[in-house]
C-alpha cells in the first residue's frame, strides 16, 4: 500500500519556518463561486449542509481538489455553536444571521447555557474526523467567530452597518458586556478545542466586525477576552490565526496576543505591517475584487504581495477577505499555480 503524503507547507509557514514555496488558501474558498456548490445549495440550506458530515466534507474538500491549495478550511458558519447555548438563530438568504432573542440585559446573558460539542454539534466533529482521516492531504483549518463579532449579532439581532446597539450596550452595560464576553470566550475555547481534538491542524479566529472599535476600546473591552481565548488554545500546540476586516489599526494589538499568524485585509500592506514591528507570520492580502479583473492585473498585484511577504520567513498567501460568488473558479486555480511557481522560483 502506498504511503499517503501530507503537505505541511501551510503549517510550517504559520510557524515561521522555511518552505519550498509560499502556501496559499482562500477565505470562503469552499462554496459560493463553485457551480457544484450552487447545485447543492438549490437543495439544502447552509445549516442542512453542515449537519450532513459526508456532504459537508465534500464541500470542504472541493476547493483543495479544484485549486490545489495548501490548506482546507472547514465549511460552516460562525453562528454554528450559538444554538447550543440558547441563541435562536436562523441564516436567511440575502440577509444573513437573524436572531429572535437578542441580548438586551444582564439577565439575558445569564440565561445563556454551556456548549457540549460532542452532544450539541457532533456533526461538526464527525465532518472533521472524516476529512482528516480519510480525505485530505493538506491541513484542515478549524475556526470560530470571536466574541465581539458574535456579540454584535446577538445584540443587534442580525447584521449591522454601524453596530450602534452593540457599542452602546458595551459602553453603558459594562457588567453585562463583560459577562457576555466571558460566556462567549468559554464557548469558543470549548468549541475550538473539540475541533482540534477531532483533527483540525490549525485554527483561525474571525473577528469580522471588530474594526468598528478604536484601539483604546479594543484594549479595554476586547483584548483581555482574546488573551484568555488564545492562551487557552495555545495549550493545543496548533497554529493560531487572527483575522478581521477593516481592522488594520488593530493589527499591532493582535500581534501582542499569544497567536502565530496575523491576518491582514487589503488595507494594510505587508511591508507597512512589518514596519509597525509585527514580526509574527503574516497572512494575506489580495483584494478579492481583483479576482474579476484581467489576469495581467491579478498577476501583477499578486507578485507584489508575494515579494513583500517573502522578505522574511512566515508568510501565507490569501485574500484580504473572502471569495465572492462572481469569481471564476478557474481564476483561483490559475492564481494558486502562479503563487506556487513564482514563489518557488524566488526561493
Burial class (CB in 10 A: 0-12, 13-18, 19+), 330: exposed
- Three-state secondary-structure class, residue 285: strand
Residues lower than pLDDT 70 in the chain: 1-4
Rounded distance between C-alpha atoms, residue 32 and residue 20, angstroms: 31
Angle at 86 (CA atoms; ends 225, 140), nearest 5 degrees: 60
- Three-state secondary-structure class, residue 341: helix
- Structure confidence by residue, pLDDT tens digits, 2-58: 445 799 999 999 999 999 999 999 999 998 889 999 999 999 988 899 999 999 999
**Residue 144 near residue 80 (C-beta atoms within 8 A):** no
**Residue 44 near residue 58 (C-beta atoms within 8 A):** no
- Structure confidence by residue, pLDDT tens digits, 296-338: 999 999 999 999 999 999 999 999 999 999 999 999 999 999 9
Burial class (CB in 10 A: 0-12, 13-18, 19+), 269: middle
DSSP state of 3: P
Strands 261-263 and 281-286: parallel
What is the structure's pLDDT at 44?
92
Nearest CA to 140 out of 233, 69, 90, 41 is that of 69
What is the structure's pLDDT at 2?
40
pTM of the model: 0.96
What is the structure's pLDDT at 4?
59
**Residue 215 near residue 222 (C-beta atoms within 8 A):** no
Domains (range + CATH), the chain: 9-346 (3.20.20.210)
Q: Count CB neighbours of 225 within 10 A.
A: 20
C-alpha distance from residue 209 to each of 163, 227, 243, 256 (Å): 9, 18, 10, 19
Rounded distance between C-alpha atoms, residue 66 and residue 267, angstroms: 28
- Three-state secondary-structure class, residue 165: helix
Give kind and range of the element (H or E) at residue 217.
helix 215-217
C-alpha distance from residue 25 to each of 187, 284, 323 (Å): 27, 10, 11
In angstroms and rounded to an integer, the radius of gyration of the C-alpha atoms of the chain is 19
- Three-state secondary-structure class, residue 141: strand
What is the structure's pLDDT at 93?
76
What is the structure's pLDDT at 3?
41
CA within 13 Å, CB half, 86: 12
Rounded distance between C-alpha atoms, residue 88 and residue 157, angstroms: 10
Spatial CB neighbours of 109, under 8 Å, sequence gap ≥ 6: 103, 176, 179, 180, 183
Rounded distance between C-alpha atoms, residue 270 and residue 87, angstroms: 38
C-alpha distance from residue 147 to each of 90, 103, 123, 153, 333 (Å): 18, 13, 23, 10, 34
φ, ψ for residue 283, nearest 5 deg: -135, 135
DSSP state of 288: G
Rounded distance between C-alpha atoms, residue 265 and residue 244, angstroms: 7
What is the structure's pLDDT at 336?
98
User: Look-up: residue for cell 481564476?
Assistant: 331
Amino acid at each position: 500500500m502506498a504511503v499517503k503524503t501530507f503537505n505541511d507547507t501551510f503549517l510550517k509557514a504559520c510557524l515561521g519556518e522555511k518552505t519550498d514555496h509560499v502556501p496559499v488558501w482562500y477565505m470562503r474558498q469552499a462554496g459560493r463561486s463553485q457551480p457544484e456548490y450552487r447545485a447543492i445549495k438549490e437543495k439544502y440550506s447552509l445549516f442542512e449542509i453542515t449537519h450532513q458530515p459526508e456532504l459537508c466534507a465534500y464541500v470542504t474538500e472541493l476547493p483543495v481538489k479544484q485549486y490545489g491549495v495548501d490548506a482546507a478550511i472547514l465549511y460552516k458558519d460562525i453562528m454554528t455553536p450559538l444554538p447550543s447555548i440558547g441563541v435562536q438563530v436562523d441564516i436567511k438568504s440575502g440577509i444573513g444571521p437573524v436572531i429572535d432573542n437578542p441580548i438586551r440585559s444582564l439577565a439575558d446573558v445569564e440565561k445563556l447555557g454551556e456548549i457540549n460539542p460532542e452532544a450539541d454539534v457532533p456533526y461538526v466533529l464527525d465532518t472533521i474526523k472524516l476529512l482528516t482521516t480519510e480525505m485530505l492531504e493538506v491541513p484542515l483549518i478549524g475556526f470560530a467567530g470571536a466574541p465581539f463579532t458574535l456579540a454584535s449579532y446577538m445584540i443587534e439581532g442580525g447584521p449591522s452597518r454601524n453596530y450602534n446597539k452593540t457599542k452602546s450596550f458595551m459602553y453603558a452595560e459594562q457588567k453585562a458586556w463583560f459577562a457576555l464576553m466571558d460566556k462567549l470566550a468559554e464557548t469558543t475555547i470549548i468549541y475550538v478545542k473539540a475541533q482540534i481534538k477531532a483533527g483540525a491542524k490549525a485554527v483561525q479566529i474571525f473577528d469580522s466586525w471588530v474594526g468598528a472599535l478604536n484601539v483604546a476600546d479594543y484594549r479595554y473591552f476586547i483584548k483581555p477576552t482574546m488573551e484568555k481565548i488564545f492562551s487557552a488554545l495555545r495549550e493545543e500546540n496548533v497554529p493560531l490565526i487572527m483575522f478581521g476586516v477593516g481592522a488594520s489599526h488593530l493589527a499591532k494589538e493582535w500581534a501582542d496576543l499569544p497567536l502565530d499568524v496575523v491576518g491582514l485585509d487589503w488595507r494594510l500592506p505587508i511591508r507597512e505591517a512589518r514596519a509597525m514591528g509585527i514580526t509574527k507570520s503574516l497572512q494575506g492580502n489580495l483584494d478579492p475584487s481583483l479576482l474579476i479583473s484581467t489576469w495581467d492585473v491579478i498577476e501583477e498585484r499578486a507578485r507584489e504581495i508575494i515579494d513583500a511577504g517573502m522578505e522574511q520567513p512566515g508568510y501565507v498567501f490569501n485574500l484580504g477577505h473572502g471569495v465572492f460568488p462572481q469569481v471564476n473558479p478557474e481564476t483561483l486555480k490559475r492564481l494558486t499555480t502562479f503563487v506556487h511557481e513564482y514563489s518557488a522560483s524566488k526561493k
